[in-house]
Chain A
Amino acid sequence: MKPGVFSKALKSGAIWGFVVLELIFFSVAGEFLSLSDKAFMDWENMLLLLKQSAPIGIIAMGMTIVMVNGNIDLSVGATFAIAAIVLLDSMTWPIFAGLGDWVIPVAWLLALAVGMLLGALNGFIVWKTGVDAFIVTLGAMLGYRGIVFMFNGEQPTSHLNWTLVDFAEAEFLGLATASWFLLAVTFAIWFLMAKTVHGRNAYAIGDNREAAVNAGIRVGPHMMINFAIIGFLAALSAVVFYSESGSVNPNDGQLYELWVITAVVLGGTKITGGAGNVIGTFGGVIAIQLLRKGLGHIGADTSTVNLVIGLILIAVLVLDRQLNIKGKEELKL
């Protein structure tokens, strides 16, 4: 076997191996530690897990293409909150009063458009100024969050539309609405990245921007499209989640950017760009959600969950680096 083959195979499947490991661990540990006598690997429980993965998962798909492209977006949590407010508030606007339930698609479109625009704005600034995406979206994260607080102060924004709640709580073929959205987005972004010219160019730009420019690729528009996509997905995530919950706090979505990036990195996307895919990211999202649920199942509290996820993230990256060095006989630096 050629050097690197083993580590590569291990790497591409590693996150799924980790998912299986978690399932086994929590099932066994749950037998001894859990207070409930329900098995962890219960079918209902797994379906719920998929649904709960959706808010982070939908955004993570966008983050995958943004990071493969060589950028990062820290403003997704704030965009998520803004889109939620637009969704819930716009349904109460007097101009839409005559629409009846037709206000729902209007509010959805409005929220999605706002998310996409905020994302595109980030991308436009990165494109035209050449400032690093990390800085631009760090600024946007603070700025967009400021807008959230300007809107309603510390008060939550609430509106329950029962038709909408019914839609969000509906199940089709056993899967919840949110799960369907997660799967659809995963497929769409997979298709975009693996099969289209835009996806191909995004990889090229992330891997070697100079060579991409020299091949006649217009780097800026591709980056802006990807920021628009992640903005749209942050809004979609909000729309799916708040259709059901009906109330948004001004702090909602905080730290989402970090959970999303954690999932993407766990899924094997290179933080420097050029490599990664949504299948890995999907694994990363599931792995995190399993960990949260599993630790809850065996009686750990939230702070423990965060500590464990942090440790695992670092452990995974250390392992990944070791495998890489083995495969390539790289210099030890």
Chain B
Amino acid sequence: MTDPVLRLEDIVKTFPGVRALDGVSFAVMPGEVHALMGENGAGKSTLMKVLGGIHQPNEGHIYMGDEKVVMAGPLEAKAKGIVFIHQELSLAEELSVAENIYLGELPTKSFGRVDSAKLDEQTNAILKKLNVSFDASTRVGDLSIANQQMVEIARALTVDAKAVIFDEPTASLTDAEKVVLFDVISDLKATGVGIVYISHRMEEIFKMTDRISILRDGQYQGTVDTAATNEEAVTQMMIGRKLDLSRNASTHDLGEVALEVRGLSCGKLYKDVSFEVRRGEVLGFYGLVGAGRTEIAETLFGLRDPSAGQILLNGEEVRIHSPADAIARGISLVPEDRKGQGLILGMNCRDNMTLPQVDDLKAGPFVAEGAEIAIFDQYRDRLDIRTPGWRQQVGNLSGGNQQKIVIGKWLSMHPSVLIVDEPTRGIDVGSKSEIHKLLRELAAQGYAVVVISSEMPEVLHVADRIVAMYSGQIMRTFTAAEVTEDNLIQAISGITPGQAA
């Protein structure tokens, strides 16, 4: 039997007051894709930091091959052949692909000049292996997120990588881009590299990996063969609960049309988009990243001006020029990037929740703190937000609770239309199902809900009707009865029913 490329033995890492890792062991074989799963806070990130030499374990050992190693720092980890592909890309946008890949070890000529010819040649050789559409001299800022990730992977290939760790690699990729990534991972695997694959997405885990190791609350729960288990079993190991992703159409009666869009266009971003949402309904938008879904939401929220078309709110045509306009008319947006666009991370929970309405709550020149606390308490209870109190800084909450703060922020404004862009991005499984349930409940309470998602199981689970978008156009709107995974995929890939053989 071959030795594992990387083996962890009884790793313990404690922080003041927390046992972040409590006896974690697992081994990655050469040519294996090994999934590491666990809810947010289960210890995956800490484990990766131990592997990457950023944290030193309090107990336990790391072996590479049959040799016991100590990772003194990130550079040493890299030198030993451990390479990380992070969720958040760390690339210099203004530099070229080649410069990024060889950053820190650029080939030089005399007087310290960069040897561009050699640089481009080496880079193109690697890019060729990855089968990508850009070349060494492309500016990284001009590449799509997926291609930027390829640059990160190319960087990994420049060292003699023994183990490559992918941390949520598909978080910002479209389904088509994922396919390319998976091909690359398969190629890597074929060369005998050990791969650690961290993801929340069950679909990918079951498609891509050979074995799954599971962490819960810093404790190692065991390793299972992917082929010999199923989603439910893994979820239960992670959380001790089941994730319900069954189809979920409304049983209650729908109300009148809350929002109607007629022939809306915005330059090249999307054209001639028409749809309506009723009270009590969840309308899903599904499509590839770049299909124009987020841009439509941004237009409805006043962040973009449409070039043509009408927006009707409760039957009346409206023009929305700013988010303030949209909010005043009862349209709310839970944005895609929770931390960047939705929350003031340095502020506490209460202030974040009441941010859009502090002006309405004031008593004379004062902020009415009492009224704010009342609103916070009401929505903390209603949405089951788990926080020690309103004074807690939002940056310290888990992703799921942060998302609930954003949702609560808008519910407290009593909107008529709630648009939610990627409701569960970066949120752990347990909180995911809570958010899904919440969205369904909101519809049942008479809100018109628009959900934009890149995860098919999510739209299928949450939405009553699904709008399929491709390249800025609506291909088809599916009712609950019509939709299947197959015809949905065809629609978002631009295949019309006639073309599909």
Q: Point out residues on A near B: beta carbons under 8 Å.
A: 1-3, 195-197, 200-201, 203-204, 207-208, 210-218, 274-275, 329, 331-332
The answer to whether A216 touches B323, judged by C-beta atoms less than 8 angstroms apart, is yes
The answer to whether A215 touches B323, judged by C-beta atoms less than 8 angstroms apart, is yes
Cα–Cα distance between A218 and B322 once the two chains are bound (Å): 9
Cα–Cα distance between A197 and B324 once the two chains are bound (Å): 16
Partner of A197, one of B322, B344, B359: B359
The answer to whether A207 touches B367, judged by C-beta atoms less than 8 angstroms apart, is no
In the complex formed, the residue of B with least CB distance to A5 is B16
Give the size of the chain B interface in residues (CB under 8 angstroms): 32
Query: Which residues of the other chain, A, contact B301 by a CB distance below 8 angstroms?
Result: 214
User: Is B341 an interface residue when CB atoms closer than 8 A count as contact?
Assistant: yes
Query: Which residues of the other chain, A, contact B324 by a CB distance below 8 angstroms?
Result: 216-218
Show 25 residue pairs from A and B whose CB-CB distance is below 8 angstroms, ordered by the A residue: A1-B16, A195-B365, A196-B362, A196-B367, A197-B358, A197-B359, A197-B362, A197-B367, A200-B351, A203-B346, A207-B347, A208-B344, A208-B346, A211-B342, A211-B343, A211-B344, A212-B355, A214-B323, A214-B342, A215-B356, A216-B326, A217-B324, A275-B346, A329-B15, A332-B54
The answer to whether A195 touches B366, judged by C-beta atoms less than 8 angstroms apart, is yes
Cα–Cα distance between A33 and B366 once the two chains are bound (Å): 51
In the complex formed, the residue of B with least CB distance to A213 is B323
Q: Which 10 A-B pairs have the closest CB atoms?
A: A216-B327, A216-B324, A215-B355, A215-B356, A207-B346, A207-B344, A204-B344, A216-B356, A197-B358, A216-B323
Per the 8 Å Cβ criterion, residues 336-360 of B in contact with A are 340-347, 351, 355-356, 358-359
Number of A-B residue pairs with CB-CB distance less than 8 Å in the complex they form: 80
17 more A-B contacts (CB under 8 A) besides A214-B335, A215-B355, A217-B324?
A3-B17, A195-B366, A195-B367, A197-B358, A197-B362, A203-B347, A204-B355, A208-B340, A208-B344, A208-B346, A210-B340, A211-B344, A212-B344, A212-B355, A213-B323, A214-B301, A274-B346
How far is the CB of B423 from the nearest CB of chain A, in Å?
16
Q: Point out residues on B near A: beta carbons under 8 Å.
A: 15-17, 54, 301, 303, 322-324, 326-328, 333, 335, 340-347, 351, 355-356, 358-359, 362, 365-367, 409
The answer to whether B355 touches A207, judged by C-beta atoms less than 8 angstroms apart, is no
Cα–Cα distance between A203 and B16 once the two chains are bound (Å): 31
Query: Which residues of the other chain, A, contact B322 by a CB distance below 8 angstroms?
Result: 216, 218
In the complex formed, the residue of B with least CB distance to A2 is B17
The answer to whether A211 touches B346, judged by C-beta atoms less than 8 angstroms apart, is no
Partner of B366, one of A2, A196, A207, A274: A196
Query: Which residues of the other chain, A, contact B335 by a CB distance below 8 angstroms?
Result: 214
Interface centre among A201, A207, A214, A329 (most CB of B within 10 A): A214
Query: Which residues of the other chain, A, contact B362 by a CB distance below 8 angstroms?
Result: 196-197
Interface centre among A1, A204, A212, A332 (most CB of B within 10 A): A204
**A204-B344, A208-B345, A211-B343 known; A217+B367 contact, CB < 8 A:** no
In the complex formed, the residue of A with least CB distance to B369 is A195
The answer to whether A2 touches B358, judged by C-beta atoms less than 8 angstroms apart, is no
The answer to whether B345 touches A207, judged by C-beta atoms less than 8 angstroms apart, is yes
In the complex formed, the residue of B with least CB distance to A204 is B344
Query: Which residues of the other chain, B, contact A214 by a CB distance below 8 angstroms?
Result: 301, 303, 323, 333, 335, 341-342
Query: Which residues of the other chain, B, contact A200 by a CB distance below 8 angstroms?
Result: 351, 355, 358, 367
The answer to whether B54 touches A211, judged by C-beta atoms less than 8 angstroms apart, is no
**A196-B365, A218-B322 known; A2+B327 contact, CB < 8 A:** no
In the complex formed, the residue of B with least CB distance to A274 is B346
How far is the CB of A128 from the nearest CB of chain B, in Å?
15
How far is the CB of B49 from the nearest CB of chain A, in Å?
9
Cα–Cα distance between A2 and B17 once the two chains are bound (Å): 7
Cα–Cα distance between A1 and B15 once the two chains are bound (Å): 11
In the complex formed, the residue of B with least CB distance to A329 is B15
Interface centre among B344, B345, B362, B367 (most CB of A within 10 A): B344
Query: Which residues of the other chain, B, contact A2 by a CB distance below 8 angstroms?
Result: 16-17
Query: Which residues of the other chain, A, contact B346 by a CB distance below 8 angstroms?
Result: 203, 207-208, 274-275
Query: Which residues of the other chain, A, contact B341 by a CB distance below 8 angstroms?
Result: 210-211, 214
The answer to whether B409 touches A331, judged by C-beta atoms less than 8 angstroms apart, is no
Cα–Cα distance between A218 and B362 once the two chains are bound (Å): 17
Interface centre among A210, A211, A331 (most CB of B within 10 A): A211
Partner of B355, one of A217, A274, A275: A217
The answer to whether B351 touches A211, judged by C-beta atoms less than 8 angstroms apart, is no
Query: Which residues of the other chain, A, contact B17 by a CB distance below 8 angstroms?
Result: 1-3
Cα–Cα distance between A216 and B358 once the two chains are bound (Å): 11
Cα–Cα distance between A196 and B366 once the two chains are bound (Å): 5
The answer to whether B15 touches A3, judged by C-beta atoms less than 8 angstroms apart, is yes
In the complex formed, the residue of B with least CB distance to A199 is B367
How far is the CB of A180 from the nearest CB of chain B, in Å?
22
Query: Which residues of the other chain, B, contact A1 by a CB distance below 8 angstroms?
Result: 16-17
Cα–Cα distance between A216 and B302 once the two chains are bound (Å): 10
